[in-house]
Amino acid sequence: MNWRAFPRRAFPYLIAAAGGFLIAYTAVFLFAFPAEVLPDDGILPNVVGKTFEDATVALKKEGFPAQQGESRFHKTIRANIVLQEDPPAGSRQKRGTNVVLALSAGQKTAEVPVTTNMSQQQARISIENTGLVLGGVTEQLSDAPRGLVIATSPPAGTKVELPGTVDIVLSKGPATVNMPDLYGRSVGEARSMVEQIGLRISGVSRDTSSLQPENTVIRQMPAAGQTISAGGAVSLTVSHFPAPPSIRIDTGTSAPPPLPLPLPVPE
């Protein structure tokens, strides 16, 4: 046996054995300690402007779970669109890091309140309490009492973008009304009753022959109980006592007027 040639013949086998050992060692090391060798970070993709669902898919694909954050009202960006991501896009992060996404809540809105059968002032307060503003005010014939809200535009329950306005329609009362009995009322009371049902006072005359208290209604036209069109005119006659004439009584205590001085006698 040639001992001198043995090392040359065994050398390839030694190289193969050493290589196999290194490969086996590396495989075992990677299996036992993968995080120490393999890279475990990545660049966050930009998902701003995407829907939350699309952003979640894009982040998951790169190994980053998405988490919904705060919602913010926005005038131009519709709801459910990503406004911001944290950590920011383009930064290098360890895979598995949660990415918090701030979403748009869309345009801020308010719901039109129910104002039916409210006065104009009550309706205005109710509307303004929602953040909306009272808009136009119109009137329309209705069986509802005069001056109460009978409709709104937009209707109650509608979502309106802020800032926004709500128009209201007030009742003018029915097309015809029954004339109330005004006899014995003061002029102020009679005027209030007439205007409340949609009529108007066209004139007030005075009668000095009545024994009723001053400014008391003693006659009316149309008469009580008659049917009159809404907006019709009503004339009244009220009692009036003219002031008594001023009479001066001489009690004798006043001084008589001075006598005229005698004229001088010519020489």
Q: Is the pLDDT of residue 169 over 50?
A: yes
Other beta carbons within 10 Å of 82: 24
Residue 166, phi then psi, degrees to nearest 5: -130, 125
Q: Are 167 and 182 part of one and the same domain?
A: no
Q: Is the pLDDT of residue 54 over 50?
A: yes
Q: pLDDT value at position 19? A: 61
DSSP 244: P
Q: Are 114 and 146 part of one and the same domain?
A: yes
CATH code, 212: 3.30.10.20
The CA distance from 86 to 66, in Å, is 10
Is the residue at 31 inside a domain? no
E-strand stretches of the chain:
41-43, 66-73, 82-86, 92-94, 99-106, 109-111, 133-140, 149-153, 159-161, 165-171, 176-178, 200-207, 217-221, 227-229, 233-239
The upper half-sphere exposure of residue 72, i.e. CA atoms within 13 Å in the direction of its Cβ, equals: 12
The tens digit of pLDDT for each residue in 170-185 reads 998 888 889 999 999 9
Three-class DSSP category at 205: strand
**Whether the Cβ atoms of residue 89 and residue 72 lie closer than 8 Å to each other:** no
Q: pLDDT value at position 101? A: 97
Q: Are 149 and 192 part of one and the same domain?
A: no
Q: Are 74 and 99 part of one and the same domain?
A: yes
Confidence of residue 261 (pLDDT cuts 50, 70, 90): low
Q: Are 101 and 128 part of one and the same domain?
A: no
Q: Are 230 and 191 part of one and the same domain?
A: yes
* Count: domains in the chain: 3
Is the residue at 14 inside a domain? no
**Whether the Cβ atoms of residue 185 and residue 218 lie closer than 8 Å to each other:** no
Q: Is the pLDDT of residue 159 over 70?
A: yes
Q: pLDDT value at position 98? A: 95
Is the residue at 266 inside a domain? no
Look up residue 257 and give its two tokens: 């007027």
Is the residue at 30 inside a domain? no
Domain ends where: 145, 171, 197? 171
Once rounded to an integer, what is the mean pLDDT over residues 211-226? 93
The CA distance from 163 to 109, in Å, is 8
Once rounded to an integer, what is the mean pLDDT over residues 7-16? 58
pTM of the model: 0.53
The CA distance from 182 to 220, in Å, is 7
Containing domain of residue 219, as a range?
176-239
Distances (CA, A) of 195 to 183, 202, 232: 16, 11, 10
**Whether the Cβ atoms of residue 167 and residue 136 lie closer than 8 Å to each other:** yes
Q: Is the pLDDT of residue 221 over 80?
A: yes
Other beta carbons within 10 Å of 53: 10
Is the residue at 259 inside a domain? no
Please name the residue ranges forming H helices in the chain: 6-32, 34-37, 52-61, 120-128, 187-196
DSSP 112: P
Once rounded to an integer, what is the mean pLDDT over residues 123-150? 94
The tens digit of pLDDT for each residue in 230-260 reads 889 999 999 998 766 666 666 656 556 666 6
The CA distance from 239 to 109, in Å, is 59
